[in-house]
Structure 1
Amino acid sequence: MPQNLEGLRFHPRCYYGSVDGSARETWPAMIAAVTDLEGKITGVHRTWLDRSGGGKAPIASPRRAMGELLGNGVRFGAPLDVMAVGEGIETVLSVRCLLPIMPMIAALSSAHLAAILFPETLRRLYVLRDNDPAGERASVTLLDRATAAGIEAVVLTSELGDFNDDLRRLCKVRLQAAIRDQLAPQDISRFMKPAR
């Protein structure tokens, strides 16, 4: 299990209201704090879950966020000189299973990924790219921004749609091998734990 999950909570009966106001109900939900570079909470992201435990709730909008999101994200671990950033919480946590002490940020969307703010300590950034056109565009924009800021940027690419798909459909050992091949050598020993 990944470490440093202070920004995540579970609520067994989180209120859900449809945009048109017709549905008012409660569902289990994962609640995530969105924070800025100083750790101040600027927003919240909710993912409503199916009561059976089989994924997202069968509702019109199972994910919603509110607050000041642009440039901020759901953070896992304190900033270091190396970190990773991806779009979704599940994507980031899937990689964090294999790199449990590397600081990571879930930006919550491709547009927000492209706009994530960099900590002053950052020297190398791993971009956990989703395999879709929006993920490609966001990665290119983020790489350009990082390079302009003097930060080495490396794109990590999943085999399937995203790293959560890889973890669920392939296997942990295969995902670890794929990530290992894309990391800087010094980061393998520093951050990667052996697969089991």
Structure 2
Amino acid sequence: MSAQVSDLARRLAERAELVCRHYLSNGRRVGRYWVVGDVHNTRGRSMYVRLRPRHGGKGAAGKWTDAATAEHGDLLDVIKESCGFVEFRDVLAEARRFLSLPQTEVESKSPFPPVPIGLSESARRLFAMSKPIHGTLAETYLRTRGISALHETTSLRFHPRCDYRPDRHLPTETWPALIAAVTTLDGAIAGIQRTWLDPSGRSKAPIDTPRRAMGLLLGNAVRFGMAHDVIAAGEGIETMLSLRSALPTLPMASALSANHLAAMLLPTSLRRLYIARDADAAGAAVAATLAQRARAAGIEAIALSPRFDDFNGDLRTFGVDELRAALRIQLTPEDVTRFLPSTVAITA
């Protein structure tokens, strides 16, 4: 499977400009790049795709980065997101159709490609070099966001001097950073997300892209607690930790972005999924897509809706007690008893 995926990615990269003209038709060529709004083919200039190879790796043809979201990927990701595919086999079939290759029956236990070895090893190395968040600027940052539930946060670590490079023309800087491990369902680290912080710890660092990910996010998540039959899933880490402050025993997963939430893999033992949607059009669309996938797998899907843009906004505006009261009417009666006891005293 990995050889087939690598071969398709290479063939697409050799035709990078043709791929962009077809799937990212709202963009245009600017020098050695194709510039467009985002991977969904929106008009704009945030995302750029390298059309010509440099020396392989990050400079290879077909690699793209969205400067607004720090998301990145290759041309298979472009096909997936621009066409709205959920199953990876559909992405492969479309890539073969575009390349005029014969269709083959692809079988795999996972619908997603394997983690690139170099990126996953770099992610694991950086995570290992970091330390637990308690007593660090990372804890200060999260508590400044109103988050009190910092139990079961082994997926989060702190690095005091994490490298940040604004772009390839500028020198590397160092900033303190919150490091989040993105893991597979069996707990293997597939990637990380870095959130660079202001030295005071009270906000993100004053840089253009204070969040960047590396490794394979697609299908995976940052996890809090051990999921069995019920889980809540949403986009941002702060969003899910805000919910965790109100529902401290409910296992949760942060997919880090709307696109990745829609494609997050679900445990086979799951019977109910709470989708912590953001209050915007993208959040509604993602919640609908993920709910459809969950129901097709026999999993009950229930959307949790915030009053403001997201649940961190609700927590900071109304406090944990009002957030808990608002969630009470959105949970099933069984889960109110199970995850929302009348007295909660779990803090870190």
Question: Which protein has the bigger helix share?
Answer: 2
Q: Partner of 1:181 in structure 2? A: 329
Q: Which has the higher contact order (CA 8 A, sep 6+)?
A: 1
Report the 3-state secondary structure (helix = DSSP H, G, I; strand = E; otherwise coil) of the residue aligned with 2:246: coil
Q: Partner of 1:71 in structure 2? A: 219
Equivalent pair of 1:83/1:124 in contact (CA under 8 Å): yes
User: 1:98 pairs with 223, 237, 246, which one?
Assistant: 246
The alignment of Structure 1 onto Structure 2 pairs a total of residues equal to 196
Equivalent pair of 1:172/1:195 in contact (CA under 8 Å): no
**CA displacement 1:141-166 (0-9 Å, x = unmatched):** 00110111110000000000000111
**CA displacement 1:145-195 (0-9 Å, x = unmatched):** 011111000000000000011111221111111111100111112112436
Structure 1 length-normalised TM: 0.96
Which whole-Å CA distance do the structure 1 matches of 2:272 and 2:311 have between them? Answer: 20
Equivalent pair of 1:3/1:101 in contact (CA under 8 Å): no
Q: Unpaired segments of 5 or more residues in structure 1?
A: none
Q: Unpaired segments of 5 or more residues in structure 2?
A: 1-148
User: 2:270 pairs with 99, 122, 145, which one?
Assistant: 122
Report the 3-state secondary structure (helix = DSSP H, G, I; strand = E; otherwise coil) of the residue aligned with 2:260: helix
Equivalent pair of 2:244/2:252 in contact (CA under 8 Å): yes
Does residue 319 of structure 2 align to residue 171 of structure 1?
yes
Deviation at 1:23, TM superposition (A): 4.4
Equivalent pair of 2:234/2:261 in contact (CA under 8 Å): yes
User: 2:209 pairs with 61, 70, 74, which one?
Assistant: 61
Does residue 172 of structure 2 align to residue 15 of structure 1?
no
User: Per the alignment, do residues 192 and 17 of structure 1 end up closer, same or farther by CA in structure 2, a change over 3 Å counting?
Assistant: same
After TM superposition, the structure 1 = structure 2 runs for residues 101-112 of structure 1, keeping only pairs within 5 Å, are 101-112=249-260
Q: Partner of 2:172 in structure 1? A: 24
**CA displacement 1:97-143 (0-9 Å, x = unmatched):** 11112111000000000001010110000000001111111111001
Aligned-residue CA RMSD in angstroms? Answer: 1.3
Which whole-Å CA distance do the structure 1 matches of 2:171 and 2:279 have between them? Answer: 33
Question: Which protein has the bigger strand share?
Answer: 1
Structure 2 length-normalised TM: 0.55
Deviation at 1:15, TM superposition (A): 1.1
Percent identity, please: 56
Q: Partner of 1:43 in structure 2? A: 191
